[in-house]
Amino acid sequence: MGWPRQAYSAALHLAAPLIWRRLRREHALTDPRPLRLGRIPETPSDVRMLWLHCASVGEVQAARPLIDALLARYPDHALTVTTMTATGAERLRALVEGRGDDRLAHRFVPLDFPRAAARFVERLRPELALFFETELWPNLLHACRRGDIPVAVVNGRLSERALDGYRRLRPLMREALGGVDWLAAKSAEDAARFAELGMPASRTTVVGSLKFDTAPDDEAPRVSKRLRRQLGRRHVWVAGSTHEGEEAQILAAHALVRRRYPEALLVLVPRHPQRFDEVAELCERLGQATARRSQGQRPSDATSVYLADTMGELTALYGAADLAFVGGSLVPVGGHNLLEPAAQGVPVLSGPELANFADVAAVLRAADALVEAPDGEGLGEALIRLFADPAECHRLGEAGRGVVAANRGALIKTLEGLGTLLASK
């Protein structure tokens, strides 16, 4: 074991109590603890396995076109998708149930202890390992390399902020990236950042963002239409994937909107389920009449906020709105998927914090398909302006839809690269 990975592994073991405590707090230990140590059932010898790792719910959603395409292109293979978080697991399990395909399964990824990583890879026995976006786990990558398993990083993304952190671990990252056979980078800027950490240009291809290839599932449009009928003709906006410190600004923006449009409804969708009760209490404390979707409550004419405290419905909720605000952007999180509402022709608003989606935001800006607000007050003013201008809303929605359509194609390039990698095994 090289000294960078040795030091990293020692630090992980020292931090183990904190890691387990955090997983319990985030409700990620919904599977038995041994599975987090790689103690999974062995893949039968007659099963050809592919493995895709996604961090959480956003990555699972973005990876869905790839999941569907892999199952279609390789009918003789099974596909295991791992996640780190419980929210990602719930989204993936819903996808498994919806597909009804016994070739698709979910596992929690093991913690990156050396023995756990090695045990997981030895038992799963994948022919190809795919890591989505920035999921670079040194011991898992080493276990794949030791097992002669080709590794690809797909939709490879590395923000400037993430790069700043990884620079402090450059020797470790250079060793980890040595186990990556192919990087399908999201943009030239992402490829350059990976290169700075040691990823060879000869094993890197810029393919574009898989997020542009994302499309709502068959059920989402039906849910959107049904919900929109329930909501009636009132002005409706969705704030999706919101974070701590952001909901208060969003509710302040909604208070401004309600002064101009007293019937306006905010559909509020917190990012993390462990915060649902906290956000509900905040709404009530600020005097917002709130209905909770998880409890089967329907918004009445008197309802100001519809708290969507459920999982896996964000796409459908965006589709039911007149306007969509994408969260993680009024606080220094880096933003979330701006393309999810844009693909449905829903005008997109955000805050200024978009480091994680800088390339996507740039494309939307170039098409004048993104409205950015500096803070909660600016968001409220932008919402009022747009609600008063249906023609501009229509133009924004069509511009966003056009951006998504014009930038599709990363999926085909990714599949071609993976096919070459798999054939080389």
Catalytic residue numbers, as ranges: 59
Q: For 409, which DSSP code?
A: -
If we measure between CA atoms, which residue out of 294, 254, 263 comes closest to residue 277? 294
Query: Partners of 292 in the beta sheet?
Result: 307
Distance of alpha carbon 213 from alpha carbon 412, whole angstroms: 9
If we measure between CA atoms, which residue out of 417, 424, 361 comes closest to residue 153? 417
If we measure between CA atoms, which residue out of 257, 289, 230 comes closest to residue 373? 257
Distance of alpha carbon 326 from alpha carbon 238, whole angstroms: 8
N- to C-terminal Cα separation, the chain = 25
Helix axes 170-177, 188-197, angle to 10 degrees: 110
Residues 6 or more apart whose Cβ sits within 8 Å of residue 287: none
What is the helix (H) or strand (E) element at residue 80, kind and residue range?
strand 77-83
Find the DSSP H helices in 150-275.
160-167, 170-177, 188-197, 219-231, 247-260
